[in-house]
Amino acid sequence: MRYRVVVVAAVLAAVVRVPAQGPRPDVGNQFVVLGTASGPNSEAARAQPANALVAGGQVYLVDAGDGAVGQLAKAGFRLPAVRGVFLSHLHFDHTGGMLAVLGLRMQLEVRGTLRVFGPPGTRALVDGLLAASAPAMRAGYGIAGQSWTAAVDVVELRDGATIAVDAFKVTAAVNSHFSRPEGDASEPDGVSLSYRFDLPDRAIVYTGDTGPSPRVVALARDADLLVSEMLDADAVLATMRPAGAATSSAQAPTGFEWHLRAHHMTPWQVGELAAAAKVRRLVITHFAPNVTSPEQEQRYRDAIRMRFPGDVAIAHDLDRF
């Protein structure tokens, strides 16, 4: 379903119609990590996964976890400036901010179409959010005969899809975040995408959530910047076990532990990915557990550098690359 509708004028136009303020002309192309937390738990010090790609003077969201609109404001961007959204997958920690993105655009009466790109299922997500918004859309500002309307284009992408978006090229690759256990030939119920953004001056790859994946290695080949997830499964599991409890190394991980180890990457695996793809710079986001000291941050950086000798940054919210 495609949404192409005309925004209805309203009283208070001077108050609610906000011009689409983009980045300053001298900002240049950049990738801003708006939120670096690993979901689904919220962190007091870090926001949920969301990023802003600034390309050709335009702003695009890359994932939109809870609080994405607020993080945009902290980064100096206004919501009306966002031309499109790229969703890596449909877990709530990566999509929780989408209702605010859609609803506040309507309340601000933003003109122009918002393009939302994502895996199969993205159209159903947007349809559902707009259906949930229907009472507010009908009510508008309480002026008889006037309501809010949405202008949204949804584009679902599959493995290997390459599209042109404004002044750059986007390539999508299915990664291993929903992979089945070895020996299980059934089709996964979800699809998770990694993205490559080929800008005029550099190539940026965003893994989204993924375990080790040859497709992501191929996607990231010779990229200038690789923005990767990372998870220390042992440290995460240690926080979940009762005091004194231990796991047997002889027992294969099952359930949630299997998910952590199969569907995410350890620091060593991230280093192996960056080295195999021969990327120039590596940025770590969506990491767990939360890094609480310079010493812990250095340990992770050292572990990555055992496999990848290049430039490594453990990102903080609102860092720009």
User: What is the DSSP pairing of strand 193-198 with strand 30-35?
Assistant: unpaired
Is residue 5 assigned to a domain? no
Q: Which residue, 192, 119, 208, 127, is CA-closest to 155?
A: 119
Whole-angstrom distance, CA of residue 268 vs CA of residue 8: 53
User: What is the DSSP pairing of strand 152-156 with strand 114-118?
Assistant: parallel
Whole-angstrom distance, CA of residue 103 vs CA of residue 256: 34
Q: For residue 170, what are the contacts with CB-CB under 8 A and spacing of at least 6?
A: 86, 117, 162, 163, 164, 195, 196, 197, 198
290: region left, alpha or beta (phi > 0 left; psi from -120 to 50 alpha): beta
Judge contact between 59 and 81, C-beta under 8 A: yes
Measured torsion, CA atoms of residues 121, 54, 160, 269, in degrees rounded to the nearest 10: -90
Q: What is the pLDDT along the chain (321 residues), one digit of tens a residue?
A: 444 333 322 323 333 344 455 554 446 899 999 999 998 888 999 999 999 999 999 999 999 999 999 999 999 999 999 999 999 999 999 999 999 999 999 999 998 999 999 999 999 999 999 999 999 999 999 999 899 999 999 999 999 999 999 989 999 999 999 988 888 888 888 999 999 999 999 999 999 999 999 999 999 999 999 999 999 878 777 777 554 445 545 555 667 787 878 788 999 999 999 999 999 999 999 998 888 899 999 999 999 999 999 999 999 999 999
Would you say the pTM of this structure is higher than 0.85?
yes
* Two tokens, residue 285: 């986001």
Is residue 3 assigned to a domain? no
Q: Which domain holds residue 131?
A: 21-140+152-320
Is residue 214 assigned to a domain? yes
At which residue do the structure tokens 């796991």 appear? Answer: 247
Helices 233-240 and 255-263 sit at what angle, rounded to 10 degrees?
Answer: 160
| Beta partners for residue 195, in sequence order | 172, 206
Q: For residue 150, what are the contacts with CB-CB under 8 A and spacing of at least 6?
A: 3, 5, 102, 105, 106, 130, 133, 137
SS3 annotation, 140-153 = CCCCCCCCCCCCEE
Is residue 276 assigned to a domain? yes
Is residue 179 assigned to a domain? yes
Is residue 220 assigned to a domain? yes
Is residue 201 assigned to a domain? yes
User: What is the DSSP pairing of strand 193-198 with strand 225-231?
Assistant: unpaired
User: What secondary structure letter does DSSP report for 69?
Assistant: H
Judge contact between 10 and 102, C-beta under 8 A: no
Q: What is the domain-level CATH number for residue 115?
A: 3.60.15.10
pLDDT for 7: 30
pLDDT for 4: 39
Is residue 263 assigned to a domain? yes
Q: Which residue, 145, 61, 143, 144, is CA-closest to 104?
A: 61
Other C-beta atoms lying within 10 Å of the C-beta of residue 191: 22
Q: For residue 255, what are the contacts with CB-CB under 8 A and spacing of at least 6?
A: none
**Domain count of the chain?**
1
Whole-angstrom distance, CA of residue 264 vs CA of residue 260: 6
pLDDT for 234: 80
Whole-angstrom distance, CA of residue 303 vs CA of residue 310: 12
